[in-house]
Chains A and B, each alone.
Chain A
Amino acid sequence: MKLDIQGHSGCDIAIVYEDNELHIHKSTHDAGYVPRLVNQANKQIAASNREYQNIRVPKVFAVEQTDSDAVIKMEYIYSKNYVEYFENAGFEQIKYLIGAIEYFIDLEINASTMQTVPSHILTDKMADVARKVANNAHLKDDREALELVNRSQAVMDGVGDMVMPVGTCHGDLTFSNILFNGNNYYLIDFLDSFIESPLLDIVKIRQDTAYLWSTLMYNKPFDKVRLSIVSEKIDKAIDEYFTSRYQWYRQYYMPLQLMNFLRILQYGHDEKVIAYIKRVIAGQLESYN
């Protein structure tokens, strides 16, 4: 039995019943995407070999690859999405989740080494964003967006070399890439990151907790007030936790969160989403005035 479902990454996702249990087959038929999907699989395999307490990673059973196709065969997780989970979670479950996120990122930090990320990594990425925004049909005539990009370039030019832990990260640690199964949280859709730093995972999780990004993509009715209250609670806890521990977090979180939203903006095509991202970026740039 095979059931096709919509994936987030552009890959095909199928739920397959074989060997008396459900499996997920994630595949691509785009030759250009094959190496990326295989890298994701390797990242997931490496992560699934580590212990994270309540944070878990679906087991990868096989990675099959040709020049033009790739498929990852992995464990199916019975789960709820984050909106359904937050709508039902009692306060103690939210407390466990906060603890699990902090624990997971601390393990990533311990598995990384403090390294200097040269300033050009950020400025090159900024130049790339500026090019893509200028070439994006939905943005190239948007004076407000171009102005925000210009102001952001000045911020990125001022950051300089960054000293931070580098080595391990999920790469796209938003709530939509976490499957909630009781008090176990399964991470899916690992991704390459332009800096392989746990700081980028904090940036991505706060993309949801501080800015409610994933709710923009959620199209079923839900209790927005409750979700906002939960998100605010998680965000405050995470921010206080890392602020109290790490200088690199205090120093580089803001420019990297700005870069994160610029990288989303560059591919923007939905008017509502573009307006939202512009508001977020404008708000972030306020703190530099």
Chain B
Amino acid sequence: MMTLIVPIAASHADIHKLPQPFRFDDEGTMFCVKAITGLPLSEIKDIYFVILREHEERFMLSEQLSMQFRKHGLTNAHVTILDQPTTSQAETVTQAIRLNDIKGIVFIKDADCYFTTDEILPQNGVAIYALENLPLVDPQHKSYVAVDDMFYVTNIIEKRVVSHFFSAGGYCFEDAQEFCRYYDRLRDYSPLYLSHIIYAMLLDKKIFRPIQIDDYQDWSIDALFKRN
């Protein structure tokens, strides 16, 4: 069993505006909740949505999220509230791991996209999707994943198209504490992306496998967001 973390604790320029992941689709599902519904949730022990106190106080998010959890039968879902904005997704995840004393395998899911997958193996992995499967794409806002013939990840790069596979916003780490150790090592670098953490682990001979996904939807860009 693994723990699922959905980090949504970045500060936004306009504090008065509801961040996109907390908006609702036509069926009344909050996008950050919809973001995890394509995952094999029966394999998940606990789910943590990590949000900011400033968003919580302004938009009453934990109440809304609790209603969403009931609506979708997510009895193992929790809200973790951070007092201060974080500087990176990796920091948000590390704080969530430490605050909730999470051990073992963690799966990190971006809140601004959706995909389906049948199985998440208990090993380091990156969800990948082929560029050619997208009708519309903003290539500069993605990281790209190189995979060898035997389906081992050999490289992951921010905003440089080195592969037709891009990182689809799902990352599995087989040891939460190891993730935190890498974060601590790299925490002074900015801007720090999860792809940097994974690349540092690859350089240290950690094995990552691609996680094959389907039905990818990208809500991170307004033009694309309106389509979904």
Contact = CB atoms under 8 A, between A and B. Distances in A.
Contacts of B202: 90-91
A280 interface: no
Q: Choose among A89, A223, A224 the residue with the greatest number of B CB atoms under 10 Å from its CB.
A: A223
A225 B200 CA distance: 10
Contact of B160 (A88, A91, A92, A94): A88
Given A88-B162, A91-B203, A94-B203, A229 B157 contact: no
Contacts of A223: 157-158
A230 interface: yes
B220 interface: no
Interface string B196-221: 10011011110000000000000000
Interface stretch (B5-13, B112-120, B169-177, B186-194): B186-194
A91 B158 contact: no
A225 B155 contact: no
A228 B188 CA distance: 11
B146 interface: yes
A87 B154 contact: no
Interface string B109-127: 0000000000000000000
Given A226-B196, A229-B203, A233-B203, A92 B154 contact: yes
Per DSSP, chain B at the interface is: mixed
How many interface residues does chain A have, given as a range? 10 to 19
B78 to A, nearest CB: 31
15 contacts: A88-B157, A88-B160, A88-B162, A90-B155, A90-B202, A92-B154, A94-B203, A225-B191, A225-B193, A225-B196, A226-B157, A229-B189, A230-B203, A233-B203, A233-B204
A229 B160 contact: no
Given A90-B146, A90-B154, A92-B154, A225 B160 contact: no
Contacts, number: 44
Interface in A196-254: 223-226, 228-230, 233
A91 B160 CA distance: 16
Q: Choose among B191, B203, B204, B205 the residue with the greatest number of A CB atoms under 10 Å from its CB.
A: B203
Interface residues of B, number: 20
A89 B191 contact: no
A87 B203 contact: no
Interface string A44-59: 0000000000000000
The 7 closest A-B pairs by CB, nearest first: A90-B155, A90-B154, A91-B202, A225-B189, A233-B203, A91-B203, A229-B200
Nearest to A84: B160
A226 B205 CA distance: 16
Given A90-B154, A226-B158, 10 more contacts: A88-B155, A88-B160, A89-B155, A90-B155, A90-B202, A91-B205, A225-B191, A225-B192, A225-B193, A226-B196
A267 B160 CA distance: 37
B114 to A, nearest CB: 28
Interface string A79-110: 00000000111111010000000000000000
Contacts of A89: 155
Nearest to B192: A225
A87 B160 CA distance: 9
B199 A226 contact: yes
A199 to B, nearest CB: 26
Given A90-B146, A91-B202, A94-B203, A229 B186 contact: yes
B226 to A, nearest CB: 30
B109 to A, nearest CB: 23
Contacts of B204: 233
B155 A229 contact: no
Contacts of A230: 203
Q: Choose among A89, A92, A225, A233 the residue with the greatest number of B CB atoms under 10 Å from its CB.
A: A225
A82 to B, nearest CB: 16
Contacts of A233: 200, 203-204
Nearest to B190: A225
